[in-house]
C-alpha cells in the first residue's frame, strides 16, 4: 500500500492560518476572522455577501443571547461578584472583612499585599456600580469567551483587572483606595476595539467599530468624573488591546490557539505581579 499524503487545511484567504472551519455553502476552508454566522452555519465572505432580502450576521458580532453552557467563565465571574456584593449587604461585619482584605489600598499594596490589584475587581460600592459593570460584562464577555475559549477569556479578565490595579497603584495617590471590576471590563472593551479595527474593511467591522468608538467616548468622559478611578480604566483598556493584538499575531489559525492565548494572557499577569513586587 502506497503511503498517502495528508494536507492540513488552511484558510483560502490566509494561507498561513490552519483552520478546521469551512464554508457551509461552498466548502472552502476559512479561519475565524473570515467566518460569518448564518442560519445554515458559517459562511465565507463571498457566500455571506447580502443578496436580495437575505441578512447575514457577522461572526464577530458582540451581542447575542448566551447561557452558562456557552460562556461558563463569564457567568461564573458574574455569580461570584454578585454573591460577594449580596453577602456584604446582608452582613455589615462580613462586608467590612471583605473590604479590609480585598480592596486595593495603595499603601497596603506597597507594604506587600500584591493580590489587592486583582481582588479589588470583586468588590463594588453600590447597586449602580455593580449593575453597570455586570451588565457590561454580560454584553462584552460571552461572545469573546465563545470566540477565544474559556481558559483564554479567564486569563484575559484577570490580566485586565490586574493591569487596571497596577496602573492605579503606579499613578494614583498612595492613600487611594479602589474597588470595582471596571479595569477588567475596560480590558474586554479594548480587546473588542482591536477586533473591530482588524475587521474595519468589512461592513460589519466598520459598524462595530463605530458603535464601540461611541461607547469609548462616553466612557472616557465618565472616567474623568470625580470618584472614578480613570487610571484603572486606562490600564485595563491598554492591556486588552495588547493581549488581543498578541493573540492576533501569535495564535490565530494555530492548532493550539487556546493554549497560546491563555499563555499570553497569563504572561501578562506574571508581568503585573512582578511589577508590583519589584517597584
My answer on whether 77 and 196 are in the same domain is yes
Spatial neighbors of 99 by CB under 8 A, at least 6 apart, are 88, 123, 179
Query: pLDDT, tens digit, for every residue of 85-125?
Result: 999 999 999 999 999 999 999 999 999 999 999 999 999 98
Tell me whether residue 67 is in a domain: no
pTM across the whole model: 0.75
**Residues designated catalytic:** 182, 233
Grid cell at residue 206: 466598520
Tell me whether residue 66 is in a domain: no
My answer on whether 143 and 179 are in the same domain is yes
CA distances (Å), 276 to each of 62, 111, 178, in order?
33, 10, 16
Q: What pLDDT is attached to residue 221? A: 62
Residues paired with 43 in a beta bridge: 36
Tell me whether residue 227 is in a domain: yes
**Overall number of domains in the chain:** 2
Q: Is the pLDDT of residue 23 over 90?
A: no
What CATH number is associated with residue 254? 1.20.1540.10
Categorize the per-residue pLDDT at 266 as very low, low, confident or very high, splitting at 50, 70 and 90: very high
CA 13 to chain centre: 26
CA distances (Å), 7 to each of 4, 10, 18, 19, in order?
10, 9, 10, 12
Arithmetic mean of pLDDT over the chain? 82
Q: What pLDDT is attached to residue 59? A: 42
Q: What pLDDT is attached to residue 57? A: 39
- The span from the CA of 143 to the CA of 187, in Å, is 14
- The span from the CA of 257 to the CA of 236, in Å, is 23
Q: What pLDDT is attached to residue 272? A: 96
My answer on whether 211 and 159 are in the same domain is yes
Q: Is the pLDDT of residue 32 over 90?
A: no
Range of the domain at 24: 1-59
Categorize the per-residue pLDDT at 2 as very low, low, confident or very high, splitting at 50, 70 and 90: very low
Provide the percentage of residues in the chain whose pLDDT is more than 90. Answer: 49
Grid cell at residue 218: 462616553
Q: Is the pLDDT of residue 69 over 70?
A: yes
| Angle 239-240-241 from CA coordinates, rounded to 5° | 90
Q: Is the pLDDT of residue 199 over 90?
A: no
- The span from the CA of 138 to the CA of 78, in Å, is 8
Amino acid at each position: 500500500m502506497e503511503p498517502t499524503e495528508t494536507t492540513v487545511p488552511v484558510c483560502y484567504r490566509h494561507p498561513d492560518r490552519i483552520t478546521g472551519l469551512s464554508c457551509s455553502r461552498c466548502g472552502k476552508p476559512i479561519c475565524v476572522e473570515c467566518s460569518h454566522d448564518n442560519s445554515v452555519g458559517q459562511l465565507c465572505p463571498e457566500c455571506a455577501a447580502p443578496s436580495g432580502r437575505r441578512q447575514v450576521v457577522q461572526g464577530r458580532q458582540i451581542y447575542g443571547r448566551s447561557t452558562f453552557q456557552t460562556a461558563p467563565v463569564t457567568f461564573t465571574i458574574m455569580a461570584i461578584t454578585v454573591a460577594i456584593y449580596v453577602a456584604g449587604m446582608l452582613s455589615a461585619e462580613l462586608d467590612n472583612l471583605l473590604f479590609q482584605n480585598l480592596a486595593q489600598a495603595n499603601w497596603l499594596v506597597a507594604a506587600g499585599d500584591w493580590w489587592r490589584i486583582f481582588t479589588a475587581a470583586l468588590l463594588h460600592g453600590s447597586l449602580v456600580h455593580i449593575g453597570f459593570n455586570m451588565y457590561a460584562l454580560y454584553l462584552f464577555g460571552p461572545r469573546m469567551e465563545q470566540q477565544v475559549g474559556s481558559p483564554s477569556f479567564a486569563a484575559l479578565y484577570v490580566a485586565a483587572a490586574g493591569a487596571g490595579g497596577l496602573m492605579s497603584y503606579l499613578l494614583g495617590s498612595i492613600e487611594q483606595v479602589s474597588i470595582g471590576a471596571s479595569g477588567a471590563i475596560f480590558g474586554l472593551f479594548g480587546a473588542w476595539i482591536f477586533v473591530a479595527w482588524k475587521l474595519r474593511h468589512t461592513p460589519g467591522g466598520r459598524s462595530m467599530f463605530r458603535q464601540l468608538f461611541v461607547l469609548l467616548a462616553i466612557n472616557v468622559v465618565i472616567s474623568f468624573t470625580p470618584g472614578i478611578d480613570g487610571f484603572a480604566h486606562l490600564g485595563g483598556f491598554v492591556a486588552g488591546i495588547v493581549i488581543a493584538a498578541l493573540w492576533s499575531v501569535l495564535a490565530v489559525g494555530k492548532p493550539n490557539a487556546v493554549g497560546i492565548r491563555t499563555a499570553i494572557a497569563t504572561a501578562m499577569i506574571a508581568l503585573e505581579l512582578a511589577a508590583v513586587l519589584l517597584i
